[in-house]
Each structure stands twice: as C-alpha cells, then as structure tokens.
A and B are shown apart, each in its own frame.
Chain A
Amino acid sequence: MRGVRPGDLAQVIEIDAVVTGLRKPAYWADLLRRYGRGRRSRFFLVADSGRRIEGFVIGEVRDWEFGSPPCGWVFAISVRPGARLAGVGTRLLEAIIAGFRRAGVKTVRTLLARDNHLVLAFFRSQGMMAAPVIPLEKDIE
C-alpha cells in the first residue's frame, strides 16, 4: 500500500471503468489533484502488486460535519474483479484507517447505496456497523 502517484491514474481510471461501467478521466484527475498530495487529512492510496495497481481507496478526515466530532470518511474503495477475495480490500481499508489514526480520529465512516449489498457486505465484514446518522433526501425537480 502506498500513496497514489500521477503515473497510477490511468490504471485507477481503468479499474473504476471496469467496476462501474463508466469512464470518468476528468473526475479522477480532479481527485488526484485534491487528494494525491500526501496531506495529513486526505488519503488516496493504491495497492501496488509490483506488476500493476490492484485497487485503491480514497478518504479524508472531516471536522464537525453535521455536528459530528472529526472522523475519517472513506468515499471510494475499489479492487480489480480478478484480484478480489485475496485481502486487497481489507489491506487498503486497514491502511487508510492507520492514516486516520495518525490524524487523530477515532471513528471511520462511509456511505453506500442500500442496494449495494456486495460493498456493504465488505464493510460489514470489516466490523463496521450502522452509524448514528440518517441520510435524507428530497426530489427538488
């Protein structure tokens, strides 16, 4: 596990495109610019097998969001389909949690669509439970 480098971007875009079916180079270039600079509170880590990038995780420490004490948010994690079930996702999550700890926070959170059972099951398997928050939305069209 290591911090992302500009040369990793093409593989990150490729992994995301395979997993989501959408190619978003501008989006990922923007994330690299905002999260790829090794700041203390922002993390963009990749799982480098030495041969290629097998997955990535992105997150940041957010302070007092919705009145909540500072906590680490994971907002993207992805592993190549062919590299799954080998602990890559677990190691990525452990690495970003280690970063959050170094940044002084004691809680990690994420937010997922409730029908995304695969990724929900992954985070559950890592010991994550429902947070004491309820996301709400409203159609404003």
Chain B
Amino acid sequence: MRLQKNTRLALCGALEFAARPGRHLSVAEVARRYRVSPHHLAKVLRALGRAGLLDAVRGVGGGYRFAGNAKRVTLMDVVALFEGVGAPAPRRGARVRAPAERALDLVLAEIDETARATFSSITLETLLKLIARRGLG
C-alpha cells in the first residue's frame, strides 16, 4: 500500500513531535531529517496544527510542539487529514458499471477495510514503542 507523500510526511512529523512532548522543534530541523524543503514541510505541519495535534511556537527559534495525546491519536486521525483511505474513486457520469468493475470494487473495498482497521488501531504511542522495540531509533 502506498500513501501520498504529504501523508507520509505528516505521519513522520507527528511522530517526531510526539516523541518529544513539551519540546518545540523547528520546521527546518524536522525538514532536514526527512530531506524535504522547510516550505513543503511547513504546509503539512500547518494542517496538523489546524487539527489540534501541534501548537505553533512563535518567535526566534519558533516551530511547533506536540499538542495531542499520543495514546489516543491514531494513524488514521493523521492519514484522514490528507487523503481518504477507501474513499470511492470519482465517477464520470452515471453510467452502469460492468460486472467485472463491480467485482473488482468488492475486492478493493475489502483491502480498504483492512487498511482502515489497521490505521485506526495503531496510535502514535504504539508506533513509538515499535520504533524502540525494533531498535529503529
């Protein structure tokens, strides 16, 4: 399964901040770590801020600080800010879909249901524990 670039960046960003609760990180600092431009990352972090997951820290050395509850915020909460998992594809016109298309839709819906259940059951804290347990940090 592939996530859009901004969704992946938002998940990584949320984890960076959740791993350091109370501490503010600059956009440039996080952007360097993920090899993206600060301008690009800032757009993603603003969306996390609007969702209440980050607080903006103003002034010199400003940036963001984690404002969510890592035990409660799920990967789905973040993913849903950027893309729909299992959202029906836009349809052109109201033409009747062929049997093969409808059968394929059933299989794809099954995959989407599993993806949604997975994202909805993993919190940021659980993913941080996974990083620690597997020595990925």
Measured CB to CB, the residues of A under 8 A from B are 114-115, 117, 120-121, 123-125, 127, 130
Cα distance, A114 to B86, chains bound together (Å): 15
Contact, CB under 8 Å: B114 / A125: no
Complex partner residue of B118 from A115, A123, A130, CB under 8 angstroms: A130
Contact, CB under 8 Å: A120 / B117: yes
Cα distance, A127 to B126, chains bound together (Å): 8
Given contacts A120-B120, A123-B121, A125-B125, 17 further A-B contacts (CB under 8 A): A114-B113, A114-B116, A114-B117, A115-B117, A117-B74, A117-B117, A117-B120, A120-B121, A121-B121, A121-B122, A124-B121, A124-B122, A124-B126, A125-B123, A125-B126, A127-B129, A130-B118
Instruction: Determine which residue in B118, B121, B125 has the highest number of CB atoms from chain A within 10 A of its CB, and name it.
Output: B121
Residue of B nearest to A125 (CB): B126
Interface size class of B (residues with CB under 8 A): 10 to 19
Q: Which residues of A contact B116 (CB under 8 A)?
A: 114
- Is the CB of B130 closer than 8 A to any CB of chain A? yes
Measured CB to CB, the residues of B under 8 A from A are 74, 113-114, 116-118, 120-123, 125-126, 129-130, 133
Cα distance, A114 to B122, chains bound together (Å): 12
Q: Which residues of B contact A125 (CB under 8 A)?
A: 123, 125-126, 129
Residue of B nearest to A120 (CB): B121
Q: Which residues of A contact B113 (CB under 8 A)?
A: 114
Q: Which residues of A contact B117 (CB under 8 A)?
A: 114-115, 117, 120
Residue of A nearest to B114 (CB): A114
Q: Which residues of A contact B133 (CB under 8 A)?
A: 127
Q: Which residues of A contact B74 (CB under 8 A)?
A: 117, 121
List, sorted by A's number, 13 A–B pairs whose CB atoms are closer than 8 Å: A114-B113, A114-B114, A114-B116, A117-B120, A117-B121, A120-B117, A120-B120, A120-B121, A121-B121, A121-B122, A124-B122, A125-B126, A125-B129
